[in-house]
Structure 1
Amino acid sequence: MLGRSVKAAAAALVAAGALAGCSGGSPKAGTAAVVGDDRITVTALSQTVRDWREQFKDDPLANRMRAGSINPADGMGSESGESDLRDALTLLVNFRVAEKMARTQGVAVPEGQTDQAVDLLNEKGGAGSITLASGLPRDRTRELARFIATQRLVMQRLGADGNPQSLQTAAAGKRWNELFRSTADGMHIEVNPRYGTFDPVKGNVGPVLYRLSTPESGIGRT
């Protein structure tokens, strides 16, 4: 997967594995998401997105890459900034699921493999810019690189041969998605409803769904 273009490297992150899990109930106040025993706070998520916005606006390459890898209908920089929060939260949850998946598969991810992933991202246009294009600030670059290294090593274990066009790599990619879903299913995952809901098809934190009210119920979220 590391041989993909810079555009694909940024775009594939959200789609790399399908998130699943329990979306029922509401996390405790101040919690953006709970992933297993790990808690992502609203404060941490908000600061992450603030840092990203400040850095992203000053990085023309990241802007070009992101513009080429997202659906324009998603509305970059939407009025409320909710899409930015969802993008970042989806990745932060994906990182944690991938870590659990690697442990379950008995795959170690040495720091040297993360270093190699950072080097390759630098060769593909700049690790910092690619991190920004994915929706996270530069200080999350090693987390992004570790995710890529984890995917590469797990897929090798599943039979990928390094050729993105081969049947072996395609089969390993399909198996990766299946294992990612089953790993998430086995974890306790909750997302604060203010940020949206799980989309089991797209595998990300989807937009908050609103419904038209009746005179008795008032306008509210589903």
Structure 2
Amino acid sequence: MPGKSVKVVVAAVVAAGALAGCGGQTRVGTAALVGGDRITVTSLDQTVRDWRGQFKDDPVANQIRANSSGLAPGLADQESETDMEGALSLLVNFRVADRVARDAGVSVPDGLADQTTALMDQRGGAGSITLASGLPRSRTRDLARFIATQTAVMQKFGADLGNAQSPLTVQAAQQWGLKFQKAARDMHIKINPRFGRYDAAKVDIGPVVYDLSSAETGTDGA
């Protein structure tokens, strides 16, 4: 299943340098490459700056994030060391989800994303939920589409969307997770070592682990 940042989002909705890696280096200023799609450091920096400015002034977002992370209200915004990694992980996983849908032959109409946004508004506010996930309000539509994509794919796999505890829903969720991991592996995701390393098994960005052959080169050893 998607990593920790995405889990915060799903829980909220339900409850309320140079880049180096496999194949060598890419252009300076790249935060991630996802199936050939480039996320720049500049755009990531701006995304996180926008998020920080909005998040600190949104008490609902702070409460949602605190409830999901186990931090006391008002302390969630102190996790600054993970802001960049969390935002980048979501931006990467948005692209992976699109690949999962394509591989499964599932289309995600705009109407389903609209319905998801409306649901988020009913469960604490779409903008606040987006902020709680670690992204600015401008990314609300992207987040809604991600959730809508998971809903559509799980529905194809036989999920009973009216019963989250149904064996059919649990099985569909497991299939979604496996398809997500496979898509992430197939897309050969590369992360700038400044931000960590993408783990396709966890579909999340974690710390770079250097070995003797890569410690002096700055590569991620992929």
TM above 0.5, one fold? yes
Do the aligned residues in 2 keep the contact of 1:77 with 1:84 (CA within 8 Å)? no
Aligned to 1:77: 78
Give the Cα–Cα distance (whole angstroms) in 2 for the partners of residues 194 and 60 of structure 1.
31
Task: Compute the displacement of 1:71 (Å).
Answer: 5.6
SS of 1:33's equivalent in the other structure is strand
Do the aligned residues in 1 keep the contact of 2:181 with 2:201 (CA within 8 Å)? no
SS of 1:198's equivalent in the other structure is strand
Task: Compute the displacement of 1:127 (Å).
Answer: 0.2
Aligned to 1:157: 156
Do the aligned residues in 1 keep the contact of 2:101 with 2:107 (CA within 8 Å)? yes
The percent of aligned pairs where both chains have the same amino acid is 55
Aligned to 1:87: 86
Between the two proteins, the alignment pairs up a number of residues equal to 199
Q: How does 1:4-83 map to 2 (within 5 A)?
A: 10=9, 23-24=21-22, 25-70=24-69, 76-78=77-79, 81-83=80-82
Q: How does 1:1-222 map to 2 (within 5 A)?
A: 10=9, 23-24=21-22, 25-70=24-69, 76-78=77-79, 81-162=80-161, 163-209=163-209
Alignment RMSD: 2.7
SS of 1:205's equivalent in the other structure is strand
Give the Cα–Cα distance (whole angstroms) in 1 for the partners of residues 30 and 219 of structure 2.
19
Aligned to 2:3: none
Task: Compute the displacement of 1:183 (Å).
Answer: 1.0
Do the aligned residues in 2 keep the contact of 1:32 with 1:40 (CA within 8 Å)? yes
Deviation >4 Å, runs of 4+: 208-211
Do the aligned residues in 1 keep the contact of 2:96 with 2:183 (CA within 8 Å)? yes
Do the aligned residues in 2 keep the contact of 1:56 with 1:62 (CA within 8 Å)? yes
Query: For the structure 1 residues 93 and 12, does the alpha-carbon distance in structure 2 shift closer, same or farther, using more than 3 Å as the test?
Result: farther
**1:171 alignment partner AA:** Q
Query: For the structure 1 residues 12 and 37, does the alpha-carbon distance in structure 2 shift closer, same or farther, using more than 3 Å as the test?
Result: farther
Higher relative contact order (CA 8 A, sep 6+): 1
Gaps of 5+ in 1: 1-6, 14-21, 212-216
Q: State the TM-score, normalized to the length of structure 1.
A: 0.81
Query: For the structure 1 residues 201 and 184, does the alpha-carbon distance in structure 2 shift closer, same or farther, using more than 3 Å as the test?
Result: closer
Query: For the structure 1 residues 221 and 23, does the alpha-carbon distance in structure 2 shift closer, same or farther, using more than 3 Å as the test?
Result: closer
**1:90 alignment partner AA:** S
Deviation string 1:115-163 (CA, Å, 9 cap, x unpaired) is 0000000000100000000000000000000000000000000010111
Task: Compute the displacement of 1:186 (Å).
Answer: 1.2
Give the Cα–Cα distance (whole angstroms) in 2 for the partners of residues 77 and 30 of structure 1.
26
Give the Cα–Cα distance (whole angstroms) in 1 for the partners of residues 115 and 8 of structure 2.
15
Aligned to 2:16: none
Worse-matched range after superposition: 103-112 or 48-57: 103-112
Query: For the structure 1 residues 68 and 23, does the alpha-carbon distance in structure 2 shift closer, same or farther, using more than 3 Å as the test?
Result: farther
Give the Cα–Cα distance (whole angstroms) in 1 for the partners of residues 30 and 200 of structure 2.
21
Query: For the structure 1 residues 12 and 30, does the alpha-carbon distance in structure 2 shift closer, same or farther, using more than 3 Å as the test?
Result: farther
SS of 2:96's equivalent in the other structure is helix
Gaps of 5+ in 2: 1-5, 13-19
**1:61 alignment partner AA:** V
